[in-house]
């Protein structure tokens, strides 16, 4: 896949999956803009000093003004080819134990942030482009969301947003898709579930490969898909 000359935004780009995506994009020739809390996250980001990576300080992707400002300069700098929305957050919690504040936190972190970034990306793209969102397995398989209903609702919203937006902007040459990972093989997940079968979990590099195709110029027809990336789990 060739991203030469393509400008790509990756939210959540300093995390485990995000770093794998950014690394693959750089290898394919892309220029990457990564919204993040620069002082906090740049120190542990492997690509912070890469000349084709620009880190921009965005402390809250659920803040409408902050997101609009982050994307505002992209048209002037040559336009935007793709926007990949990995940023999000997870929290367990049964419905009986989840108050409104906890519900809204999950909606802000996962759904509202994705919606605002999608909107900003569509407005920054000229002549077509690609958007890739990150849903989750419980967002497709609702029964598996027992014990994490707020997270499940938010990720189901990301899936629905993806399909609806794909229909809206197809005529503009913008193809919108999502991936829905199961639990991925990351150091944090291994530490949280030390007795799990790690070999069954999809690797972040494998999930990144699917994201890269959906975001690439080689993807000419796929839109409105929410692709399960479960591995053998």
Query: Who's near 220: CB < 8 A, 6+ residues apart?
Result: none
What percent helix, strand, coil does the chain show, rounded to 5? 45, 20, 35
- Three-state secondary structure call for residue 85: strand
Nearest to 211 by CA among 162, 168, 166, 178: 178
151 tagged catalytic: yes
Query: Who's near 156: CB < 8 A, 6+ residues apart?
Result: 135, 138, 139, 140, 142
> With the C-alpha atoms ordered 29, 34, 38, 42, is the resulting torsion angle positive or negative?
negative
What are residue 163's phi and psi, to 5 degrees?
-70, -45
Q: What positions carry a catalytic annotation?
A: 151
């Amino acid at each position: 896949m060739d991203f030469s000359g393509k400008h790509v935004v990756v939210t959540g780009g300093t995390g485990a999956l995000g770093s794998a995506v950014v690394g693959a994009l750089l290898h394919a020739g892309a220029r990457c803009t990564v919204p993040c809390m620069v002082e906090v996250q740049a120190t542990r980001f492997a690509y912070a000093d890469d000349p084709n990576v620009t880190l921009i300080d965005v402390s809250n992707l659920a803040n409408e003004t902050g997101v609009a400002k982050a994307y505002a300069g992209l048209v002037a700098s040559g336009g935007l080819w793709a926007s990949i929305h990995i940023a999000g957050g997870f929290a367990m919690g049964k419905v009986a134990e989840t108050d409104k504040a906890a519900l809204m936190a999950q909606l802000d972190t996962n759904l509202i942030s994705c919606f605002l970034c999608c909107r900003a990306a569509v407005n920054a793209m000229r002549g077509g482009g690609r958007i890739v969102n990150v849903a989750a397995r419980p967002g497709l398989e609702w029964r598996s969301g027992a014990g994490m209903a707020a997270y499940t609702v938010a990720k189901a919203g990301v899936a629905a947003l993806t399909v609806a937006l794909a229909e809206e902007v197809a005529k503009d040459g913008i193809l919108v898709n999502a991936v829905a990972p199961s639990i991925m093989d990351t150091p944090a997940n291994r530490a949280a579930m030390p007795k799990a079968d790690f070999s069954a979990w999809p690797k972040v590099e494998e999930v990144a490969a699917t994201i890269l195709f959906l975001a690439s110029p080689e993807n000419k027809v796929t839109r409105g898909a929410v692709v399960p990336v479960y591995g053998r789990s």
